Structure 1
Protein backbone atom coordinates (compact mmCIF):
# COMPACT_ATOMS: atom_id res chain seq x y z
CA UNK A 1 0.00 0.00 0.00
CA UNK A 2 1.99 2.99 -1.26
CA UNK A 3 -0.69 5.67 -1.52
CA UNK A 4 0.17 8.94 0.22
CA UNK A 5 -3.48 9.82 0.80
CA UNK A 6 -4.93 9.06 4.23
CA UNK A 7 -7.68 6.46 4.16
CA UNK A 8 -9.32 4.02 6.55
CA UNK A 9 -6.83 1.28 5.68
CA UNK A 10 -3.72 3.46 6.05
CA UNK A 11 -4.97 4.72 9.41
CA UNK A 12 -5.59 1.18 10.66
CA UNK A 13 -2.08 0.21 9.51
CA UNK A 14 -0.56 3.28 11.16
CA UNK A 15 -2.38 2.48 14.39
CA UNK A 16 -1.02 -1.08 14.31
CA UNK A 17 2.52 0.19 13.74
CA UNK A 18 2.31 2.72 16.56
CA UNK A 19 0.93 0.18 19.03
CA UNK A 20 3.61 -2.36 18.06
CA UNK A 21 6.35 0.23 18.62
CA UNK A 22 4.97 1.24 22.00
CA UNK A 23 4.85 -2.42 23.10
CA UNK A 24 8.46 -2.95 22.02
CA UNK A 25 11.63 -1.87 23.77
CA UNK A 26 12.69 0.22 20.78
CA UNK A 27 12.48 3.96 21.38
CA UNK A 28 11.20 6.30 18.66
CA UNK A 29 14.54 8.05 18.17
CA UNK A 30 16.43 4.76 17.94
CA UNK A 31 13.96 3.44 15.37
CA UNK A 32 14.34 6.56 13.21
CA UNK A 33 18.13 6.25 13.35
CA UNK A 34 18.16 2.53 12.57
CA UNK A 35 15.82 2.93 9.60
CA UNK A 36 17.58 6.02 8.28
CA UNK A 37 14.24 7.80 7.91
CA UNK A 38 13.20 11.22 9.07
CA UNK A 39 11.15 11.54 12.24
CA UNK A 40 8.43 13.16 10.15
CA UNK A 41 8.19 10.14 7.85
CA UNK A 42 7.78 7.73 10.75
CA UNK A 43 5.27 10.00 12.48
CA UNK A 44 3.16 10.39 9.33
CA UNK A 45 3.30 6.67 8.68
CA UNK A 46 2.03 5.94 12.19
CA UNK A 47 -0.79 8.46 11.72
CA UNK A 48 -1.75 6.93 8.39
CA UNK A 49 -1.18 10.18 6.51
CA UNK A 50 1.45 8.80 4.15
CA UNK A 51 2.13 5.44 2.62
CA UNK A 52 5.19 3.36 1.86
CA UNK A 53 5.98 -0.01 0.34
CA UNK A 54 5.41 -3.37 2.07
CA UNK A 55 9.19 -3.78 2.03
CA UNK A 56 9.61 -0.65 4.15
CA UNK A 57 6.84 -1.83 6.48
CA UNK A 58 8.67 -5.14 6.88
CA UNK A 59 11.85 -3.24 7.75
CA UNK A 60 9.97 -1.15 10.31
CA UNK A 61 8.45 -4.19 12.00
CA UNK A 62 11.70 -6.13 11.79
CA UNK A 63 13.50 -3.44 13.76
CA UNK A 64 10.87 -3.76 16.49
CA UNK A 65 11.52 -7.52 16.75
CA UNK A 66 7.82 -8.21 17.17
CA UNK A 67 6.27 -11.61 17.67
CA UNK A 68 5.06 -13.56 14.64
CA UNK A 69 1.30 -12.86 15.05
CA UNK A 70 1.97 -9.09 15.22
CA UNK A 71 4.24 -9.27 12.18
CA UNK A 72 1.68 -11.27 10.20
CA UNK A 73 -1.14 -8.89 11.14
CA UNK A 74 0.79 -5.77 10.13
CA UNK A 75 2.06 -7.26 6.88
CA UNK A 76 -1.47 -8.37 6.04
CA UNK A 77 -2.61 -4.74 6.37
CA UNK A 78 0.38 -3.50 4.37
CA UNK A 79 -0.42 -5.85 1.48
CA UNK A 80 -4.19 -5.31 1.53
CA UNK A 81 -5.37 -3.31 -1.51
CA UNK A 82 -7.16 -0.06 -0.80
CA UNK A 83 -10.60 -0.40 -2.41
CA UNK A 84 -12.32 2.20 -0.26
CA UNK A 85 -14.09 -0.56 1.65
CA UNK A 86 -12.76 -2.45 4.69
CA UNK A 87 -14.47 -5.71 5.62
CA UNK A 88 -13.65 -6.81 9.14
CA UNK A 89 -15.00 -9.99 10.76
CA UNK A 90 -15.87 -10.04 14.44
CA UNK A 91 -17.70 -12.18 16.95
CA UNK A 92 -21.44 -12.14 16.42
CA UNK A 93 -22.95 -8.97 17.94
CA UNK A 94 -19.58 -8.00 19.45
CA UNK A 95 -17.63 -5.59 17.19
CA UNK A 96 -16.32 -3.57 20.14
CA UNK A 97 -12.68 -4.64 19.93
CA UNK A 98 -12.29 -3.83 16.22
CA UNK A 99 -9.36 -1.43 16.02
CA UNK A 100 -10.78 0.25 12.92
CA UNK A 101 -13.96 1.07 14.85
CA UNK A 102 -12.21 2.29 18.00
CA UNK A 103 -9.68 4.33 16.04
CA UNK A 104 -12.30 6.20 14.04
CA UNK A 105 -14.71 6.75 16.94
CA UNK A 106 -11.87 8.17 19.03
CA UNK A 107 -10.85 10.68 16.36
CA UNK A 108 -14.27 11.63 14.97
CA UNK A 109 -15.59 15.18 15.10
CA UNK A 110 -19.24 14.16 14.60
CA UNK A 111 -20.74 10.69 14.96
CA UNK A 112 -24.15 10.01 13.45
CA UNK A 113 -25.66 6.74 14.68
CA UNK A 114 -29.01 5.25 13.67
CA UNK A 115 -30.56 2.00 14.87
CA UNK A 116 -33.94 0.44 14.15
CA UNK A 117 -34.42 -2.45 16.59
CA UNK A 118 -31.87 -1.70 19.29
CA UNK A 119 -30.36 1.23 21.14
CA UNK A 120 -27.13 2.50 19.50
CA UNK A 121 -24.07 0.92 21.07
CA UNK A 122 -22.63 4.25 22.24
CA UNK A 123 -25.81 4.82 24.30
CA UNK A 124 -26.33 1.36 25.78
CA UNK A 125 -26.20 0.73 29.52
CA UNK A 126 -23.98 -2.15 30.57
CA UNK A 127 -26.98 -4.29 31.56
CA UNK A 128 -28.73 -3.63 28.26
CA UNK A 129 -25.57 -4.49 26.32
CA UNK A 130 -25.02 -7.65 28.37
CA UNK A 131 -28.60 -8.85 27.79
CA UNK A 132 -28.38 -8.01 24.08
CA UNK A 133 -25.24 -10.08 23.63
CA UNK A 134 -26.72 -13.15 25.33
CA UNK A 135 -23.28 -14.69 25.88
CA UNK A 136 -21.59 -16.51 28.75
CA UNK A 137 -18.93 -13.78 28.75
CA UNK A 138 -21.53 -11.07 28.14
CA UNK A 139 -20.63 -8.99 31.19
CA UNK A 140 -16.99 -8.72 30.14
CA UNK A 141 -17.83 -7.92 26.52
CA UNK A 142 -20.53 -5.46 27.58
CA UNK A 143 -17.88 -3.63 29.61
CA UNK A 144 -15.89 -3.22 26.39
CA UNK A 145 -18.93 -1.65 24.75
CA UNK A 146 -19.42 0.77 27.61
CA UNK A 147 -15.70 1.60 27.54
CA UNK A 148 -16.18 2.86 23.97
CA UNK A 149 -18.49 5.53 25.38
CA UNK A 150 -15.59 7.16 27.23
CA UNK A 151 -14.79 9.09 24.08
CA UNK A 152 -17.46 11.54 25.26
CA UNK A 153 -15.41 12.21 28.40
CA UNK A 154 -12.45 13.46 26.36
CA UNK A 155 -11.45 17.13 26.56
CA UNK A 156 -12.66 17.50 22.95
CA UNK A 157 -15.35 14.86 22.60
CA UNK A 158 -17.10 14.14 19.32
CA UNK A 159 -20.57 15.50 18.79
CA UNK A 160 -22.99 12.59 19.04
CA UNK A 161 -26.10 12.68 16.88
CA UNK A 162 -28.15 9.63 17.77
CA UNK A 163 -31.36 8.48 16.12
CA UNK A 164 -33.44 5.68 17.64
CA UNK A 165 -36.44 4.16 15.90
CA UNK A 166 -39.45 3.75 18.17
CA UNK A 167 -39.37 0.00 17.52
CA UNK A 168 -36.23 -0.20 19.69
CA UNK A 169 -38.17 1.17 22.66
CA UNK A 170 -40.82 -1.50 22.33
CA UNK A 171 -38.35 -4.37 22.09
CA UNK A 172 -37.75 -5.66 25.62
CA UNK A 173 -34.09 -6.47 26.20
CA UNK A 174 -33.20 -7.95 29.58
CA UNK A 175 -36.51 -7.22 31.28
CA UNK A 176 -38.38 -4.22 32.66
CA UNK A 177 -35.63 -3.08 35.06
CA UNK A 178 -33.01 -3.03 32.31
CA UNK A 179 -35.34 -1.20 29.94
CA UNK A 180 -36.28 1.35 32.61
CA UNK A 181 -32.63 2.22 33.20
CA UNK A 182 -32.00 2.33 29.46
CA UNK A 183 -34.88 4.75 28.93
CA UNK A 184 -33.39 7.02 31.60
CA UNK A 185 -30.09 6.89 29.75
CA UNK A 186 -31.83 8.16 26.62
CA UNK A 187 -33.87 10.70 28.54
CA UNK A 188 -30.91 12.48 30.10
CA UNK A 189 -28.55 12.31 27.15
CA UNK A 190 -28.16 15.20 24.72
CA UNK A 191 -28.26 14.64 20.99
CA UNK A 192 -30.78 11.78 20.95
CA UNK A 193 -33.78 11.96 18.63
CA UNK A 194 -36.64 9.57 18.02
CA UNK A 195 -37.77 8.26 14.65
CA UNK A 196 -41.47 7.55 15.35
CA UNK A 197 -43.58 4.71 13.99
CA UNK A 198 -45.71 7.33 12.24
CA UNK A 199 -42.80 8.56 10.12
CA UNK A 200 -42.81 7.54 6.48
CA UNK A 201 -39.32 6.11 6.08
CA UNK A 202 -37.38 6.38 2.84
CA UNK A 203 -35.57 3.22 1.71
CA UNK A 204 -32.30 4.73 2.97
CA UNK A 205 -33.44 4.24 6.57
CA UNK A 206 -34.49 0.61 6.49
CA UNK A 207 -31.35 -0.45 8.38
CA UNK A 208 -28.97 1.07 10.88
CA UNK A 209 -25.58 2.67 10.28
CA UNK A 210 -22.97 5.02 11.66
CA UNK A 211 -21.44 7.93 9.78
CA UNK A 212 -18.38 9.72 11.12
CA UNK A 213 -17.01 13.12 10.12
CA UNK A 214 -13.44 14.20 10.86
CA UNK A 215 -11.37 17.36 10.92
CA UNK A 216 -8.32 15.99 9.12
CA UNK A 217 -9.71 13.54 6.56
CA UNK A 218 -12.89 12.60 4.66
CA UNK A 219 -15.85 10.86 6.37
CA UNK A 220 -16.19 7.14 7.04
CA UNK A 221 -19.39 5.09 7.07
CA UNK A 222 -19.84 1.97 9.19
CA UNK A 223 -22.44 -0.79 9.02
CA UNK A 224 -22.76 -4.17 10.71
CA UNK A 225 -24.29 -7.33 9.28
CA UNK A 226 -24.13 -10.40 11.49
CA UNK A 227 -20.46 -11.19 12.25
CA UNK A 228 -19.12 -8.72 9.66
CA UNK A 229 -18.45 -4.99 9.79
CA UNK A 230 -17.97 -2.80 6.73
CA UNK A 231 -16.09 0.50 6.80
CA UNK A 232 -16.15 2.70 3.72
CA UNK A 233 -14.50 5.96 2.79
CA UNK A 234 -15.17 5.72 -0.95
CA UNK A 235 -16.67 9.05 -2.03
CA UNK A 236 -19.62 7.49 -3.85
CA UNK A 237 -20.54 5.57 -0.70
CA UNK A 238 -20.03 8.31 1.86
CA UNK A 239 -22.04 10.73 -0.28
CA UNK A 240 -24.99 8.34 -0.08
CA UNK A 241 -24.65 7.98 3.68
CA UNK A 242 -24.46 11.74 3.98
CA UNK A 243 -27.87 11.84 2.28
CA UNK A 244 -29.11 9.21 4.76
CA UNK A 245 -28.19 11.61 7.56
CA UNK A 246 -30.17 14.36 5.86
CA UNK A 247 -33.13 11.96 5.64
CA UNK A 248 -32.86 11.31 9.38
CA UNK A 249 -33.03 15.01 10.11
CA UNK A 250 -36.29 15.18 8.18
CA UNK A 251 -38.13 12.22 9.74
CA UNK A 252 -36.93 12.41 13.38
CA UNK A 253 -38.78 14.51 15.94
CA UNK A 254 -36.98 17.15 17.99
CA UNK A 255 -34.87 16.36 21.06
CA UNK A 256 -37.57 17.88 23.27
CA UNK A 257 -40.32 15.73 21.75
CA UNK A 258 -38.04 12.71 21.92
CA UNK A 259 -37.45 13.22 25.65
CA UNK A 260 -41.19 13.24 26.22
CA UNK A 261 -41.50 9.86 24.52
CA UNK A 262 -38.50 8.44 26.41
CA UNK A 263 -40.07 9.65 29.67
CA UNK A 264 -43.36 7.91 28.79
CA UNK A 265 -41.56 4.66 28.08
CA UNK A 266 -39.52 4.97 31.27
CA UNK A 267 -42.77 5.34 33.20
CA UNK A 268 -44.25 2.28 31.49
CA UNK A 269 -41.23 0.13 32.30
CA UNK A 270 -41.15 1.53 35.83
CA UNK A 271 -44.75 0.43 36.40
CA UNK A 272 -44.05 -2.93 34.79
CA UNK A 273 -41.04 -3.66 36.99
CA UNK A 274 -43.07 -2.77 40.09
CA UNK A 275 -45.85 -5.11 39.01
CA UNK A 276 -43.38 -7.90 38.33
CA UNK A 277 -41.60 -7.45 41.67
CA UNK A 278 -44.86 -7.38 43.67
CA UNK A 279 -45.86 -10.57 45.56
CA UNK A 280 -47.41 -12.92 43.06
CA UNK A 281 -46.17 -10.82 40.16
CA UNK A 282 -44.35 -12.20 37.18
CA UNK A 283 -40.59 -12.38 37.62
CA UNK A 284 -38.51 -9.92 35.65
CA UNK A 285 -37.01 -11.57 32.58
Structure 2
Protein backbone atom coordinates (compact mmCIF):
# COMPACT_ATOMS: atom_id res chain seq x y z
CA UNK A 1 0.00 0.00 0.00
CA UNK A 2 1.34 3.39 -1.01
CA UNK A 3 1.67 5.70 1.98
CA UNK A 4 4.21 8.40 1.15
CA UNK A 5 3.56 10.20 -2.16
CA UNK A 6 7.23 11.13 -2.37
CA UNK A 7 9.91 8.67 -1.28
CA UNK A 8 13.33 10.17 -0.61
CA UNK A 9 16.58 8.30 0.01
CA UNK A 10 20.23 9.32 0.09
CA UNK A 11 23.38 7.28 -0.44
CA UNK A 12 26.92 8.64 -0.76
CA UNK A 13 25.81 12.02 -2.04
CA UNK A 14 23.16 10.63 -4.40
CA UNK A 15 19.62 11.69 -3.47
CA UNK A 16 16.76 9.77 -5.05
CA UNK A 17 13.24 11.20 -5.14
CA UNK A 18 10.50 8.79 -6.22
CA UNK A 19 7.05 10.01 -7.23
CA UNK A 20 5.16 7.25 -5.46
CA UNK A 21 1.60 6.99 -6.79
CA UNK A 22 1.90 4.16 -9.26
CA UNK A 23 -1.82 3.33 -9.03
CA UNK A 24 -2.46 6.84 -10.45
CA UNK A 25 0.45 6.64 -12.90
CA UNK A 26 2.35 8.91 -10.52
CA UNK A 27 0.03 11.86 -11.01
CA UNK A 28 1.17 14.79 -8.87
CA UNK A 29 -1.16 16.45 -6.36
CA UNK A 30 -0.89 20.06 -5.28
CA UNK A 31 0.59 18.97 -1.95
CA UNK A 32 3.18 16.93 -3.82
CA UNK A 33 4.20 19.91 -5.99
CA UNK A 34 4.86 21.86 -2.79
CA UNK A 35 6.73 18.99 -1.14
CA UNK A 36 8.83 18.29 -4.22
CA UNK A 37 9.97 21.92 -4.43
CA UNK A 38 10.92 21.89 -0.74
CA UNK A 39 12.84 18.63 -1.04
CA UNK A 40 14.82 19.74 -4.09
CA UNK A 41 15.61 23.13 -2.55
CA UNK A 42 16.86 21.40 0.60
CA UNK A 43 19.23 19.19 -1.39
CA UNK A 44 20.39 22.20 -3.39
CA UNK A 45 21.48 23.87 -0.16
CA UNK A 46 23.05 20.72 1.31
CA UNK A 47 26.85 20.69 0.80
CA UNK A 48 26.86 16.90 1.11
CA UNK A 49 24.35 16.37 -1.70
CA UNK A 50 25.99 15.90 -5.08
CA UNK A 51 23.30 14.72 -7.50
CA UNK A 52 19.54 14.08 -7.50
CA UNK A 53 17.76 11.29 -9.35
CA UNK A 54 14.06 11.94 -9.99
CA UNK A 55 11.97 8.94 -11.00
CA UNK A 56 8.50 7.45 -10.77
CA UNK A 57 7.39 4.33 -8.91
CA UNK A 58 6.48 1.28 -10.95
CA UNK A 59 6.33 1.44 -14.73
CA UNK A 60 5.77 5.18 -15.31
CA UNK A 61 7.58 8.44 -14.69
CA UNK A 62 4.53 10.67 -14.21
CA UNK A 63 1.19 11.40 -15.88
CA UNK A 64 1.52 15.02 -14.71
CA UNK A 65 -0.82 16.99 -12.50
CA UNK A 66 -3.64 15.00 -10.89
CA UNK A 67 -6.69 16.02 -12.91
CA UNK A 68 -8.95 14.74 -10.13
CA UNK A 69 -8.09 17.90 -8.17
CA UNK A 70 -8.87 20.35 -10.96
CA UNK A 71 -12.55 20.95 -10.19
CA UNK A 72 -11.81 21.99 -6.63
CA UNK A 73 -8.25 23.34 -6.75
CA UNK A 74 -8.13 24.64 -10.31
CA UNK A 75 -11.76 25.40 -11.04
CA UNK A 76 -11.60 29.22 -11.17
CA UNK A 77 -9.10 31.67 -12.64
CA UNK A 78 -7.94 32.64 -9.15
CA UNK A 79 -7.50 29.08 -7.91
CA UNK A 80 -5.87 28.06 -11.19
CA UNK A 81 -3.27 30.79 -10.80
CA UNK A 82 -2.57 29.69 -7.24
CA UNK A 83 -2.27 26.06 -8.36
CA UNK A 84 0.04 27.03 -11.21
CA UNK A 85 2.30 28.83 -8.74
CA UNK A 86 2.86 25.57 -6.87
CA UNK A 87 3.85 23.53 -9.90
CA UNK A 88 5.95 26.40 -11.26
CA UNK A 89 7.82 26.41 -7.94
CA UNK A 90 8.62 22.71 -8.41
CA UNK A 91 9.86 23.30 -11.95
CA UNK A 92 11.96 26.24 -10.72
CA UNK A 93 13.47 24.19 -7.89
CA UNK A 94 14.73 21.61 -10.39
CA UNK A 95 15.83 24.24 -12.91
CA UNK A 96 17.72 26.31 -10.33
CA UNK A 97 19.05 23.43 -8.23
CA UNK A 98 22.76 23.93 -7.59
CA UNK A 99 23.51 20.25 -8.21
CA UNK A 100 22.71 18.12 -11.26
CA UNK A 101 19.31 16.44 -11.50
CA UNK A 102 18.78 13.28 -13.55
CA UNK A 103 15.29 12.32 -14.77
CA UNK A 104 15.02 8.51 -14.95
CA UNK A 105 12.06 7.97 -17.26
CA UNK A 106 10.01 4.83 -17.79
CA UNK A 107 6.62 4.64 -19.46
CA UNK A 108 4.39 7.71 -19.35
CA UNK A 109 5.93 11.17 -19.12
CA UNK A 110 3.01 13.52 -19.76
CA UNK A 111 2.01 17.09 -19.01
CA UNK A 112 3.48 18.25 -15.72
CA UNK A 113 5.58 15.09 -15.68
CA UNK A 114 7.10 16.18 -18.97
CA UNK A 115 7.68 19.59 -17.39
CA UNK A 116 9.50 18.03 -14.46
CA UNK A 117 11.72 16.05 -16.80
CA UNK A 118 12.37 19.12 -18.95
CA UNK A 119 13.56 21.05 -15.90
CA UNK A 120 16.14 18.38 -15.09
CA UNK A 121 19.71 18.44 -16.37
CA UNK A 122 19.90 14.96 -17.87
CA UNK A 123 17.08 12.75 -19.12
CA UNK A 124 17.49 9.01 -19.69
CA UNK A 125 14.63 6.73 -20.70
CA UNK A 126 13.67 3.19 -21.51
CA UNK A 127 12.56 2.37 -25.05
CA UNK A 128 8.89 2.14 -23.99
CA UNK A 129 8.75 5.75 -22.73
CA UNK A 130 6.01 7.97 -24.14
CA UNK A 131 5.95 11.76 -24.04
CA UNK A 132 3.12 14.30 -24.40
CA UNK A 133 2.05 17.80 -23.37
CA UNK A 134 -1.78 17.56 -23.53
CA UNK A 135 -2.73 21.00 -22.17
CA UNK A 136 -4.64 21.76 -25.39
CA UNK A 137 -6.90 18.76 -24.68
CA UNK A 138 -7.83 20.31 -21.33
CA UNK A 139 -8.23 23.92 -22.46
CA UNK A 140 -5.32 25.08 -20.32
CA UNK A 141 -2.26 27.21 -20.93
CA UNK A 142 1.01 25.56 -20.00
CA UNK A 143 3.01 27.69 -17.50
CA UNK A 144 5.28 30.10 -19.33
CA UNK A 145 8.35 29.33 -17.25
CA UNK A 146 7.90 25.60 -17.75
CA UNK A 147 7.42 26.17 -21.47
CA UNK A 148 10.87 27.71 -21.48
CA UNK A 149 12.26 24.44 -20.10
CA UNK A 150 10.51 22.50 -22.84
CA UNK A 151 11.87 24.76 -25.57
CA UNK A 152 15.41 24.45 -24.20
CA UNK A 153 15.15 20.69 -23.68
CA UNK A 154 13.30 19.60 -26.82
CA UNK A 155 13.83 22.50 -29.22
CA UNK A 156 11.27 25.05 -30.43
CA UNK A 157 9.85 22.93 -33.25
CA UNK A 158 9.21 19.90 -31.05
CA UNK A 159 7.77 22.19 -28.36
CA UNK A 160 5.33 23.57 -30.93
CA UNK A 161 4.38 20.11 -32.16
CA UNK A 162 3.77 18.73 -28.67
CA UNK A 163 1.73 21.69 -27.44
CA UNK A 164 -0.21 22.46 -30.64
CA UNK A 165 -1.23 18.86 -31.36
CA UNK A 166 -1.20 17.40 -27.82
CA UNK A 167 0.19 14.36 -29.59
CA UNK A 168 2.47 11.68 -28.20
CA UNK A 169 6.02 10.92 -29.25
CA UNK A 170 8.08 7.87 -28.42
CA UNK A 171 11.55 7.64 -26.92
CA UNK A 172 13.24 7.52 -30.30
CA UNK A 173 11.62 10.79 -31.37
CA UNK A 174 12.50 12.37 -28.03
CA UNK A 175 16.11 11.28 -28.46
CA UNK A 176 16.18 12.74 -31.97
CA UNK A 177 14.89 16.07 -30.66
CA UNK A 178 17.67 16.18 -28.09
CA UNK A 179 15.26 15.80 -25.18
CA UNK A 180 16.86 12.52 -24.11
CA UNK A 181 20.51 11.85 -23.50
CA UNK A 182 20.14 8.09 -23.92
CA UNK A 183 17.66 5.28 -24.43
CA UNK A 184 18.60 2.29 -22.27
CA UNK A 185 17.26 -1.25 -22.33
CA UNK A 186 14.91 -1.95 -19.43
CA UNK A 187 17.14 -4.60 -17.87
CA UNK A 188 20.09 -2.19 -17.76
CA UNK A 189 18.15 0.96 -16.89
CA UNK A 190 18.65 1.07 -13.12
CA UNK A 191 22.30 0.14 -13.49
CA UNK A 192 22.93 2.89 -16.03
CA UNK A 193 21.19 5.52 -13.90
CA UNK A 194 23.31 4.46 -10.93
CA UNK A 195 26.49 4.57 -13.02
CA UNK A 196 25.91 8.15 -14.14
CA UNK A 197 24.81 9.33 -10.70
CA UNK A 198 27.80 7.68 -9.04
CA UNK A 199 30.23 9.16 -11.57
CA UNK A 200 28.88 12.63 -10.90
CA UNK A 201 28.98 12.10 -7.14
CA UNK A 202 32.62 11.01 -7.26
CA UNK A 203 33.77 14.13 -9.12
CA UNK A 204 34.64 17.39 -7.37
CA UNK A 205 31.29 18.79 -6.16
CA UNK A 206 32.33 22.45 -6.37
CA UNK A 207 33.53 21.93 -9.93
CA UNK A 208 30.25 20.28 -10.92
CA UNK A 209 28.25 23.08 -9.30
CA UNK A 210 30.38 25.63 -11.14
CA UNK A 211 29.76 23.87 -14.45
CA UNK A 212 26.01 23.82 -13.87
CA UNK A 213 25.99 27.53 -13.04
CA UNK A 214 28.13 28.36 -16.08
CA UNK A 215 25.95 26.33 -18.46
CA UNK A 216 22.83 28.03 -17.12
CA UNK A 217 24.42 31.44 -17.58
CA UNK A 218 25.49 30.57 -21.12
CA UNK A 219 21.93 29.57 -22.01
CA UNK A 220 20.21 32.50 -20.33
CA UNK A 221 22.61 35.29 -21.32
CA UNK A 222 21.68 36.84 -17.98
CA UNK A 223 24.27 39.13 -16.37
CA UNK A 224 23.32 38.17 -12.83
CA UNK A 225 23.62 34.47 -13.59
CA UNK A 226 26.96 35.07 -15.31
CA UNK A 227 28.21 36.85 -12.18
CA UNK A 228 26.96 33.99 -10.00
CA UNK A 229 28.69 31.44 -12.25
CA UNK A 230 31.93 33.40 -12.00
CA UNK A 231 31.67 33.52 -8.21
CA UNK A 232 30.94 29.80 -7.94
CA UNK A 233 33.83 29.05 -10.27
CA UNK A 234 36.19 31.23 -8.23
CA UNK A 235 35.52 29.14 -5.13
CA UNK A 236 37.10 26.11 -6.78
CA UNK A 237 40.52 27.77 -6.98
CA UNK A 238 40.81 28.13 -3.20
CA UNK A 239 39.17 24.83 -2.31
CA UNK A 240 40.81 21.88 -0.63
CA UNK A 241 39.35 19.77 -3.45
CA UNK A 242 41.54 21.60 -5.95
CA UNK A 243 44.58 20.76 -3.83
CA UNK A 244 43.37 17.16 -3.56
CA UNK A 245 42.90 16.92 -7.31
CA UNK A 246 46.46 18.10 -7.97
CA UNK A 247 47.90 15.83 -5.30
CA UNK A 248 46.03 12.80 -6.61
CA UNK A 249 47.18 13.53 -10.15
CA UNK A 250 50.84 13.64 -9.11
CA UNK A 251 50.48 10.52 -6.95
CA UNK A 252 48.56 8.72 -9.70
CA UNK A 253 45.75 7.80 -7.34
CA UNK A 254 42.00 8.35 -7.33
CA UNK A 255 41.08 11.69 -5.73
CA UNK A 256 38.71 11.82 -2.78
CA UNK A 257 36.71 15.03 -2.96
CA UNK A 258 34.96 16.56 0.03
CA UNK A 259 33.14 19.48 -1.53
CA UNK A 260 35.18 21.96 0.50
TM-score class, shorter-chain normalisation, is under 0.3
Scaled by the length of structure 1, the TM-score of the pair is 0.21
Rg (Cα) greater in structure: 1
**Comparing both chains, which one has the higher relative contact order based on Cα–Cα distances under 8 Å and sequence gaps of 6 or more?**
1
